Structure 1
Amino acid sequence: MQSLYYELRIIIFKYVDTPISLILTDRKWYAITQDPYARAEWLIYKYGKTHAIFHAVRLGSDFITVGLVRNLLVRNAIISRYFIQRLLMSIGSEGSWTSNLPSPIFTQLIIEGYNRDLVVKGNDMELFHYLSDPADTLTSINDDPQKLFQNLNTIEYHIQLIQDRSQDDYPPKDGYENSRQLNVIARAILIYPDLVYMWKEIGYYEICSDVNDLVMQGAFLTLFPPTPPTNWIIPDIDFVVTRLRQLLAVGFQLTRVVMEETFHLFKLRLNEIGDLLISSFQVIRNESKFAIVRSCLIKTLKPERDHENFNLLEFLINEIDQPAETALKYVLNHYNVAFKYDANSIKLSKMRSLSVNSSFYDWVLKEYGPNSRITQQCFDDILESRIWIDLKLQENPERDIPEHLTLQAFNSICSIYQKYCNDKVPFKANYFPYLKLVKNEEIIGRFSKILSGLELNIKLPYDINYEYNRSEVNNNQIMTN
């Protein structure tokens, strides 16, 4: 029975994203977390057999052991020649992903590489780059793949990615591939998609998921070159769909992220190819235009997006078959643009910032005016963020900016609040409990007639003296439905 309990604990441990929570529970769970077999199961489940050994090394001497490596190899975790090459390139480099690797484990991995007849000298990524580089332009990928074809038997054994993440240095100190190297892989797949089958034959089943977005975006760039040659013509929908299905057949996917990133990639050419993209997406995904546009609309407003202009947002709103404000309300609700606290709980919040980029709030104000419901919903988010700033500064009057809030975020919140005040967005009754908490005259200035007993010298419009750059907004870009 005890053995059964132990096995069940290992199964539970395998599915835990961050094991530290179990380590602190009791001694039995601590023992599980130290078991090389349990650690191997956790690594393979979390990262797959292709990347498990890399992550074991990356997690350092407190995690990796000789027993763990042995358990990973018994479970057929892949140790590729490119991994061994990268290991040799990085070992001894201060601050690198191998800097804390114990010598016995390094020796164990190198011996394993020799036992498998892996050639440890050289750099297979550079060789792969050379073999898959037919020319310098994107359009030539469709025209001149002979060099890659002639060397497929060599390439089959030469490359296996360690992991995918964008970094600039090479070799990067954290061990992840940088964007330049991943683009080499994506380009080769675009030349010869069946290359994917060769990787899968040697155990690299994650190849499609690792480079899916790069390959799919690369396909669109070859279909719609950024600088088209003089003889280029816009492909029809059948040609686009055929090309995409060729990639889908080997395991790639036209995800919602890929669709939105593609729209963003061509945001300055949407008048030319926007409708063609939507029609192609409809055929591939077998979804309605409404479903595709709405999902892309959500991702267009993600906070980390660069909101330099709103061409894409305006294009998608005009394509959706419902009133623009209804579509935007759906998106704002997705990002929880609203009051998130009450007058008591906001005091306990460690962080309250804008739910979406303030440039979008500026665009809404100029596009729909101060009295629209969508503008008022945005102001709820802005006002609560501004009140939170004041409460935190009351707690720490020696600070100019609340702890954990960046200067850029501080200026963004304060400046957009002033803009909404200057445009006289209406006061709502549910603001009153919040306003009783604040002391900053900038916040309560425009509500001084409601908050009796306060003598304030605030006049509108505010002089906006917070440094924050927003893109210019052109009005009347949205078609009325």
Structure 2
Amino acid sequence: MQSLYYELRIIIFKYVDTPISLILTDRKWYAITQDPYARAEWLIYKYGKTHAIFHAVRLGSDFITVGLVRNLLVRNAIISRYFIQRLLMSIGSEGSWTSNLPSPIFTQLIIEGYNRDLVVKGNDMELFHYLSDPADTLTSINDDPQKLFQNLSDIKDLILNKKFVPFPPRPKFIYEDTIEYHIQLIQDRSQEDYPPKDGYENSRQLNVIARAILIYPDLVYMWKEIGYYEICSDVNDLVMQGAFLTLFPPTPPTNWIIPDIDSVVTRLRQLLAVGFQLTETVMEAAFQLFEHRLDEIGDLLMDSFQNIRKEPKSVIACSCLIQAAKPEREHKKFDLLEFLINKIVQPAETALKYVLNYYNVAFKYDANSIKLSKMRSLSVNSSFYDWVLKEYGPNSRITQQCFDDILESRIWIDLKLQENPERDIPEHLTLQAFNSICSIYQKYCNDKVPFKANYFPYLKLVKNEEIIGRFSKILSGLELNIKLPYDINYEYNRSEVNNNQIMTN
């Protein structure tokens, strides 16, 4: 019975995202977390057999053990020649993904590679690049696709026998308007030197993989044959973007003819057949990529997506509109938003309310809890709010819902500056986010978005005249020197709405 309980605990442990929560529970769970078999199960479930050993090394001496490596290899975790090459490149490099790797385990991995005839000098990523397509852009695959086919037998040997797989892509962090988030972005960009210190595969190298797949999609089957089932998820967005760029070249040659819907659908289905996906993110990214050409190919893209997904255009447009509103997206112009809203059959305000509710655009705190919030920024991008105001006016319900989000963010800024009067911008908030919040607040005030009774408890908290100036006639006893409209002096460029392109629903 005790053995059964132990096995059940291992199964539970495998599905836990962060094991630290179990480590602190009791001694029995602590024992599970130290079991090399349980750790191997957790790694393989979380990262797959392809990337399990990389993550074991990355997690360092507090996690990896000789027993763990042995259990991973027994479970057929992939150890490739490229992995050994990258291991040798990085070992001894301060701050690298191998810097915390104990010497006995390094020796164990090298011996394992030697026993599998994998330890050789060189770089299999560079070799794969040379064999498949030496160009540097996704659009170049139309130039000399025969290069890959001439070397196909060598590529098969590299994948099937040398177990060549790229390292995993660098994880994407959830967007925040914080200095820390932008520092992380800068650090990620600095990792683009090769080989990257954090061990993750750089976008340039992943583009090499994507280009090869676009030339010969059956490469996916080779990788899946050796157990690399994550190949499609690892490069899905790159491959799908590459397909669109080859169908609709940014700089079309003189003999280029716009493809018909059958050609577009056939190409996309070829990729979907091997495991890639036409997700909402991919579709919106395609519309965004060709925003300047929507008049030319927008309907063709929409018709193709409808053909493949078997969904009404209105549903596709609404899902793409959600992606277009995400807070990290800034629209230099509104062509995409206008294109999508015109494809939605339901009333525009109903569709936009759905988008706003998706991002929980509303007051998120009360007059007490907002003081304790460490960060309060806009729920969607400010250019989306700007477009809503210009298109639907100050009295529409969706504009007022947007203003709830804007006002609370602006009040939060004032409260944080009251706590730290020596600062010009709240700690952690970026200058761009600060300017974005303050400037869109002023725009909404200048357009006289109506005051609502539930604003009053919040406004009693603030001292900044820029905030309460809009409501000076309502808040008695305050002498203010603010006159509307505001001069918007925050550095933030916004787009212009082309009202001729908006259809009235």
Change (3 A) 1:136 1:396: closer
1:159 & 1:437 partners in 2: Cα distance? 32
Deviation at 1:165, TM superposition (A): 10
Percent identity for Structure 1 against Structure 2: 94
Q: TM-score, normalised by structure 2?
A: 0.89
Deviation at 1:404, TM superposition (A): 2.7
2:185 & 2:47 partners in 1: Cα distance? 13
Change (3 A) 1:375 1:156: closer
Change (3 A) 1:142 1:396: closer
Change (3 A) 1:196 1:184: same
Change (3 A) 1:280 1:388: same
1:163 partner SS: helix
Deviation at 1:322, TM superposition (A): 2.4
The answer to whether the 8 A contact 1:257-1:299 is kept is yes
Q: Answer with 208-217 or 357-366: which moved more.
A: 357-366
Deviation at 1:142, TM superposition (A): 4.4
2:53 & 2:212 partners in 1: Cα distance? 25
Which ranges of structure 1 fall in alignment gaps of 5 or more residues?
none
The answer to whether the 8 A contact 2:19-2:33 is kept is yes
The answer to whether the 8 A contact 2:191-2:198 is kept is no
2:11 aligned partner: 11
1:395 & 1:159 partners in 2: Cα distance? 24
2:74 aligned partner: 74
Question: 1:100-159, CA deviations, whole angstroms, 9 ceiling, x for partnerless residues?
Answer: 111111110010001111143111111111111166776663464322112299999999
The answer to whether the 8 A contact 2:39-2:68 is kept is yes
The answer to whether the 8 A contact 1:196-1:207 is kept is yes
2:371 aligned partner: 347
2:463 partner SS: coil
Question: 1:2-42, CA deviations, whole angstroms, 9 ceiling, x for partnerless residues?
Answer: 22222222111111111112222222222221111111111
Change (3 A) 1:237 1:286: same
Which ranges of structure 2 fall in alignment gaps of 5 or more residues?
152-159, 162-177
Aligned length: 481
Deviation at 1:244, TM superposition (A): 1.3
Question: 1:335-389, CA deviations, whole angstroms, 9 ceiling, x for partnerless residues?
Answer: 1111112223222322211111112222222222222222111111111111122
Deviation at 1:269, TM superposition (A): 0.9
Deviation at 1:468, TM superposition (A): 2.7
The answer to whether the 8 A contact 1:166-1:179 is kept is no
For 1:214, which of 234, 238, 241 is the aligned residue? 238
Change (3 A) 1:246 1:166: farther
1:83 & 1:178 partners in 2: Cα distance? 15
Deviation at 1:476, TM superposition (A): 4.2
The answer to whether the 8 A contact 2:53-2:69 is kept is yes
Change (3 A) 1:307 1:202: same
Deviation at 1:323, TM superposition (A): 2.5
Question: 1:239-273, CA deviations, whole angstroms, 9 ceiling, x for partnerless residues?
Answer: 11111111122111211211111111111111111
Change (3 A) 1:243 1:366: same
1:420 aligned partner: 444
The answer to whether the 8 A contact 1:186-1:211 is kept is yes
1:161 aligned partner: 185
Deviation at 1:324, TM superposition (A): 2.2
Change (3 A) 1:22 1:261: same
The answer to whether the 8 A contact 1:113-1:120 is kept is no
Change (3 A) 1:335 1:140: closer
Change (3 A) 1:159 1:57: farther
Change (3 A) 1:137 1:169: closer
Q: Answer with 107-116 or 341-350: which moved more.
A: 341-350
The structure with higher relative contact order (CA 8 Å, sep 6+) is 2
Deviation at 1:275, TM superposition (A): 0.6
2:156 aligned partner: none
The answer to whether the 8 A contact 1:166-1:177 is kept is no
Q: Answer with 454-463 or 90-99: which moved more.
A: 454-463
1:158 & 1:142 partners in 2: Cα distance? 36
Q: Answer with 468-477 or 101-110: which moved more.
A: 468-477
Q: Answer with 149-158 or 259-268: which moved more.
A: 149-158
2:336 & 2:392 partners in 1: Cα distance? 17
The answer to whether the 8 A contact 2:378-2:437 is kept is yes
The answer to whether the 8 A contact 2:91-2:98 is kept is yes
1:319 partner SS: coil
1:447 & 1:473 partners in 2: Cα distance? 28
Q: TM-score, normalised by structure 1?
A: 0.93
Q: Answer with 161-170 or 199-208: which moved more.
A: 161-170
Deviation at 1:164, TM superposition (A): 13
1:274 aligned partner: 298
Change (3 A) 1:448 1:399: same
1:384 aligned partner: 408
The answer to whether the 8 A contact 1:393-1:402 is kept is yes
Question: 1:316-344, CA deviations, whole angstroms, 9 ceiling, x for partnerless residues?
Answer: 11121122222212111111111112223
1:222 partner SS: helix
1:65 aligned partner: 65
1:463 & 1:143 partners in 2: Cα distance? 53
